[in-house]
Amino acid sequence: MRRFRSLRLQASAFRLADSRIRPSIATVLLLGLVAACDKPAAWGEPSSLILIAPNEVWELVEDSTYVALEPTILTTREEAKFTVTQADPGNPRLQELLAFRQVIIMGTPDDPNVLAAADQAEIRTVEAPAIFTTEDVWARGQFVVVVVVETGREADTWLERLGELIEVIDERYHAYVLRRMYVSGVDTVTADSLRGRFGLSIRAPTVYDLVIREGPRDTIVIIRNDNPDASELVRSILITWRPRLVELSEEIALDWRAAIDSVHYNVPQRIEPSGREPRALRVNGQEVLEVTGTWIDEGSFPAAGPYISWLVQCPDRTVFIDAWLYAPRKPKYEYMIQLRYILSSFTCEDIG
C-alpha cells in the first residue's frame, strides 16, 4: 500500500496546484486507484483450475472430478487440457489460491466463499443446486465458477453438475484463446489477396507471415507464425490443391502430406498417425475429412509435435490443408485451439 499512498498524495497535490480540475474528476481518479490497490492481479496459467472444496467431500468425488475436468487431447502424447488443484476452505494458503485466474468454488448456500462470489455477481438469494459464474471476486482478471451443492448431499449434487461445469470452463477458455489470438487483429489483407488470386480464403491473425510458392505443377500457400523464436514456438498452416478427387480417404491425406513435408518444410517430418478414425466434417458448407497424428523431425534435432490435416472438397478441386505445431515444454491445448479456429475459417469457391 506504500505505493498507493504516494500516488494519493501526488493526486492531492495535483488537484491543489491546478484549480481548473474539478473535484469530481479527481475523486474518480482516486477511486480507481483504491479499486486497483484493493485486489491483486490474478495469477497462474489460464489452464490451471483451483478448486476450493471441503476435504471430506473431495474424498468422495476426487476420481470422477479428475476424469471430468482433466480431459485429454492427443499431441505428442495424451495431454490434459486443464490441471486441477483442490484445496480445503481451511487451507492456510487459501487467500493466495483464491487469487488465481480460474477458480471453482464448491459449497452450500451458506458457504462464505459462495456468498462472496454471489455478492460480486449481484445474486441476492443463493439456492441449491445451481451453477453461476462471475469475475474479479478476489483478484482482477479472474474468472470464478460456483457450484452450489445441497446440504447433506454435497457429493451427489457435485457429480450431477460435472458435465455442465466442464462445458462452462471449456467455453470460457475458448473465448479467452480467441480473444488472445486475435489481439493483433485479423489479417484481412491476406484473406482478400488469397480470395482474389486463388478463390480461397482463410482468416489468420496479422502476426502470421504469408509465403506463396508457385511451381509448374502446383501452388503452395504457407501461413506461419514462428515469432519471437522458432526454437520455442511454431504454428504453421500449408494449403495446396489438385483437380477434384472422386472421394476422400485417410490414405490420400497421409500420402499427400508425405509428399509435401520433405520439400516445403524446413526439415523433413516423419509422420505417425494418431490411430484414431478420420473425422468427416462439414465446414462452411464444404465436405472435409480430418486426419490427425504426430510429426517427428527426421533430422538430428529432437523435435516433434501434433498435426491436423484436412482434405476439403471445393466446387472445382480438392484442397489439402496441413496445420502443425511445435511447442516444446509448453501446454499445447491453447495452440491447438488456435489452429482449429484458423482452419474453421477456410472457404473456397469455383474459379473456373
Give the up-direction half-sphere exposure of residue 293: CA atoms within 13 A in the CB hemisphere: 20
Q: Tell me, what DSSP letter sits at residue 83?
A: E
The pLDDT-based confidence of 81 (bands split at 50, 70, 90) is very high
Least confident of 18-32, 108-122, 141-155, 173-187: 18-32
Tell me the average pLDDT of the chain.
86
CB 155 within 8 A of CB 60: yes
Residues composing the chain = 352
pLDDT of residue 4: 29
The average pLDDT across 26-53 equals: 70
Quick one: which H or E segment has residue 16? helix 2-17
Measured between alpha carbons, how far is 267 from 299 in angstroms, rounded to an integer?
A: 7
Q: Does residue 150 sit in helix, strand or coil?
A: coil
Q: Thinking of the domain 48-181, which architecture would CATH place it in? A: 2-Layer Sandwich (3.30)
Q: What percent of the chain has pLDDT over 90?
A: 71
Residues 6+ apart with CB under 8 A from 234: 224, 225, 226, 305, 324, 325, 326, 327
pLDDT of residue 133: 97
> 252-265: per-residue pLDDT in tens?
999 999 888 777 87
Kindly list the distances between the CA atom of residue 173 and the CA atoms of 41, 103, 292, 301, 337, in Å, as whole numbers in the listed order: 18, 13, 22, 33, 10
CATH 3.40.1000.10 residue ranges in the chain?
Answer: 188-348
**Of 22 and 119, the one with more pLDDT:** 119
Measured between alpha carbons, how far is 26 from 205 in angstroms, rounded to an integer?
A: 39
**Of 209 and 268, the one with more pLDDT:** 209
Provide the sign of the torsion angle of the four alpha carbons 258, 239, 288, 295, taken in this order: positive
CATH 3.30.379 residue ranges in the chain?
Answer: 48-181
> 300-333: per-residue pLDDT in tens?
677 889 999 999 999 999 999 999 999 988 889 9
The pLDDT-based confidence of 352 (bands split at 50, 70, 90) is low
Find the distance separating the first CA and the last CA of the chain, reported in whole Å.
68
Q: Does residue 189 sit in helix, strand or coil?
A: helix
> 4-34: per-residue pLDDT in tens?
222 222 232 223 223 322 333 333 333 333 4
Radius of gyration of the chain (CA): 26
CB 278 within 8 A of CB 253: yes
> 128-148: per-residue pLDDT in tens?
999 999 999 999 999 999 999
Measured between alpha carbons, how far is 41 from 250 in angstroms, rounded to an integer?
A: 47
Kindly provide the b/e burial profile for residues 227-260, where b requires at least 16 CB atoms within 10 angstroms of the residue's own CB. Answer: eeeeeebbbbbbbbbeeeeeebebebbbebbeeb
pLDDT of residue 190: 94
Which amino acid appears at position 291 of this protein?
Answer: V
pLDDT of residue 230: 83
Answer CATH for 188-348 from 3.40.1000.10, 1.10.287.130, 3.40.50.2300, 1.20.1530.20: 3.40.1000.10
Q: Does residue 180 sit in helix, strand or coil?
A: helix
Measured between alpha carbons, how far is 112 from 132 in angstroms, rounded to an integer?
A: 15
